[in-house]
């Protein structure tokens, strides 16, 4: 099939005007000008999107699909209070609710042009939903306990789940990893054992790191609401915690978790230059979640310093529970504008860089850039079409600016993963959207009352 549009953005190469992408099976075969490809492949079926952008699907570098029913549930509270409220509401959901919430998230991801997710999941619903919807996914099994004696049990259950979750999908699309939740919910032994397991079994790791001032104060000084209220609810027992006197990044570094080769740190808003040195030395990839960080008052990640030090950085949404949509256009736009507000016109703060961070750079952060993240012959056909023909978008002079500064998730008209069309003009090929939406309404009632 020949996919065609006014603009084709390979990402790893300059954009093509009036371009096309030839797809055979699950792979991209050729990219170039439409007229030339038509001439060399006269029998190929053509799908022309007109005034649109064809580009690789977005890689959402951090999300939790199973939290999608919590959209808009707890707004206007700072991070630690938001987290406590969510924990309280979670009790009301049964296992089928988690499944359908994750399906709702998967449907929104596809409709937003996301073709790959990096998801931290507790229940496994994210892995099942991603596989059922056809998404490419790295799903990390969350582990947490502050009680050292519970660590062997927690890790044993995680081992079983990781083996089981791998069975949910084709290994070419689904990878399962492990995710120590956060410094305030994991005993150091969790980090040590997770590191050992990940290194010996070649598992990817993702974890929330230095995401809020509350977390920073908890680790360094033993204070903040996370040290008191949250831990009372979370552990149910009085566990001692001695202030460490160091930053979250330096604290984590002591437990060997950054030695894991495929490791992704999420947020990193509370880091200084010495922390960034550690992250760079250990080749830690970073998920930049600008909208979630802004909405929950978590701080602003020092993106310029990350990029200057050569860290791999991509963009994450962090689920509708926090930000409230899986809209990568909003993430790129707000992510750029926040940084420019703070530091003025820096060379890296341009639309093209943010489109790259939403696609190829995020794939590099996951070690998946040999398969996805750009349009190149031989790569998987993970391709989206974004309609840019609306009155607020024309004339289009530079497609990267149009995407970042005028587009939104509803402009995505077509989403393909591995050559399979999963979303096309309001229709999902593998999901029953009417049923999912009806279930979302049922969950809304449960969560609101």
Minimum CB distance to Zn ion smaller for 198 or for 289: 289
Name the nearest CA neighbour of 439 among 128, 126, 90, 103.
103
User: Element (H or E) spanning 111, and its range?
Assistant: helix 95-111
Within 286-325, which residues bind Zn ion (CB under 5 A)?
Answer: 318
Please, what is the minimum distance in Å from the beta carbon of residue 293 to Zn ion? 11
3-state secondary structure of 294: helix
Please, what is the minimum distance in Å from the beta carbon of residue 235 to Zn ion? 20
Sequence-distant (6+) residues with CB within 8 A of 75 are 295, 324
What is the C-alpha separation between 311 and 33, in angstroms, rounded? 34
What is the C-alpha separation between 23 and 185, in angstroms, rounded? 46
Name the nearest CA neighbour of 384 among 129, 139, 135.
135
Please, what is the minimum distance in Å from the beta carbon of residue 318 to Zn ion? 5
CA dihedral of residues 273, 274, 275, 279 (deg, nearest 10) = 90
The interface mask with Zn ion, positions 177-216, x = CB under 5 A, is ----------------------------------------
Minimum CB distance to Zn ion smaller for 86 or for 228: 86
What is the C-alpha separation between 368 and 439, in angstroms, rounded? 33
Distance of CA 303 to the CA centre of its chain: 17
Minimum CB distance to Zn ion smaller for 112 or for 322: 322
Please, what is the minimum distance in Å from the beta carbon of residue 226 to Zn ion? 15
Please, what is the minimum distance in Å from the beta carbon of residue 263 to Zn ion? 15
Please, what is the minimum distance in Å from the beta carbon of residue 267 to Zn ion? 8
Q: Is 166 in contact with 124 (CB distance < 8 Å)?
A: no
Minimum CB distance to Zn ion smaller for 194 or for 385: 194
Q: Is 381 in contact with 22 (CB distance < 8 Å)?
A: no
Within 318-357, which residues bind Zn ion (CB under 5 A)?
Answer: 318
3-state secondary structure of 199: helix
The interface mask with Zn ion, positions 361-380, x = CB under 5 A, is --------------------
Residue nearest to Zn ion (CB): 318
What is the C-alpha separation between 138 and 442, in angstroms, rounded? 29
Name the nearest CA neighbour of 425 among 417, 416, 433, 414.
414
Name the nearest CA neighbour of 54 among 105, 2, 101, 121.
2
CA dihedral of residues 183, 186, 187, 193 (deg, nearest 10) = -110
Minimum CB distance to Zn ion smaller for 99 or for 318: 318
Please, what is the minimum distance in Å from the beta carbon of residue 141 to Zn ion? 14
What is the C-alpha separation between 251 and 199, in angstroms, rounded? 19
Please, what is the minimum distance in Å from the beta carbon of residue 395 to Zn ion? 39
Name the nearest CA neighbour of 279 among 250, 317, 308.
250
Please, what is the minimum distance in Å from the beta carbon of residue 208 to Zn ion? 6
Minimum CB distance to Zn ion smaller for 60 or for 318: 318
Please, what is the minimum distance in Å from the beta carbon of residue 212 to Zn ion? 12
Please, what is the minimum distance in Å from the beta carbon of residue 121 to Zn ion? 11
Minimum CB distance to Zn ion smaller for 313 or for 388: 313
Minimum CB distance to Zn ion smaller for 47 or for 89: 89
Name the nearest CA neighbour of 265 among 283, 239, 251.
283
Minimum CB distance to Zn ion smaller for 214 or for 318: 318
Within 13 Å, how many C-alpha atoms sit on residue 47's CB side?
A: 18
Name the nearest CA neighbour of 375 among 24, 18, 29.
29
Size of the site for Zn ion (CB under 5 A): 1
Minimum CB distance to Zn ion smaller for 117 or for 375: 117
Tokens of 19: 């371009």
Interaction between residue 253 and Zn ion (CB under 5 A):
no
Within 27-86, which residues bind Zn ion (CB under 5 A)?
Answer: none
Minimum CB distance to Zn ion smaller for 97 or for 318: 318
Using CB under 5 A as the criterion, which residues of the chain lie in contact with Zn ion when the complex forms? 318
């Amino acid at each position: 099939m020949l996919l065609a549009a006014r603009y084709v953005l390979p990402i790893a190469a300059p954009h093509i005007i009036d371009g096309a992408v030839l797809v055979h099976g699950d792979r991209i075969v050729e990219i170039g000008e439409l007229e030339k490809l038509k001439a060399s492949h006269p029998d190929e079926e053509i799908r022309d999107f007109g005034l649109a952008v064809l580009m690789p699907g977005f890689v959402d570098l951090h999300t939790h699909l199973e939290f999608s029913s919590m959209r808009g549930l707890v707004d206007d509270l700072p991070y630690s209070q938001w987290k406590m409220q969510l924990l309280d509401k979670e009790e009301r959901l049964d296992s089928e609710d988690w499944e359908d919430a994750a399906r709702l998230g998967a449907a929104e991801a596809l409709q937003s042009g996301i073709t790959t997710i990096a998801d931290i999941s507790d229940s496994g619903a994210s892995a099942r939903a991603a596989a059922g919807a056809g998404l490419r996914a790295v799903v990390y099994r969350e582990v947490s306990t502050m009680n050292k004696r519970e660590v062997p049990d927690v890790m044993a259950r995680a081992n079983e789940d990781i083996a089981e979750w791998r069975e949910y999908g084709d290994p070419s699309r689904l990878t399962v990893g492990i995710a120590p939740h956060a410094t305030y919910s994991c005993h150091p032994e969790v980090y040590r054992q997770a590191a050992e397991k990940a290194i010996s079994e070649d598992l990817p790791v993702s974890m929330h790191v230095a995401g809020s001032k509350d977390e920073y104060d908890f680790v360094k000084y033993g204070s903040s609401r996370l040290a008191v209220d949250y831990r009372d609810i979370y552990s149910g027992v009085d566990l001692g915690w001695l202030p460490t006197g160091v930053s979250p990044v330096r604290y984590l570094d002591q437990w060997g978790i950054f030695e894991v080769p495929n490791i992704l740190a999420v947020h990193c808003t509370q880091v200084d230059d010495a922390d960034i040195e550690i992250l760079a030395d250990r080749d830690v990839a970073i998920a930049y979640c600008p909208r979630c960080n802004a909405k929950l008052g978590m701080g602003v990640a020092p993106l310029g310093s990350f990029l200057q030090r050569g860290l791999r950085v991509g963009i994450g949404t962090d689920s509708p529970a926090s930000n409230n949509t899986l809209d990568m256009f909003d993430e790129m736009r707000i992510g750029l504008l926040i940084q420019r507000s703070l530091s003025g016109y820096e060379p890296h703060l341009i639309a093209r860089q943010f489109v790259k961070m939403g696609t190829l750079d995020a794939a590099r952060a996951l070690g998946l850039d040999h398969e996805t993240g750009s349009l190149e012959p031989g790569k998987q056909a993970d391709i989206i079409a974004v309609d840019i023909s609306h009155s607020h978008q024309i004339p289009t002079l530079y497609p990267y600016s149009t995407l970042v500064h005028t587009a939104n998730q509803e402009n995505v008209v077509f989403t393909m993963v591995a050559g399979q069309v999963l979303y096309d003009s309001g229709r999902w090929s593998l999901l029953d959207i009417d049923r999912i939406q009806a279930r979302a309404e049922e969950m809304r009632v449960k969560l609101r009352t």
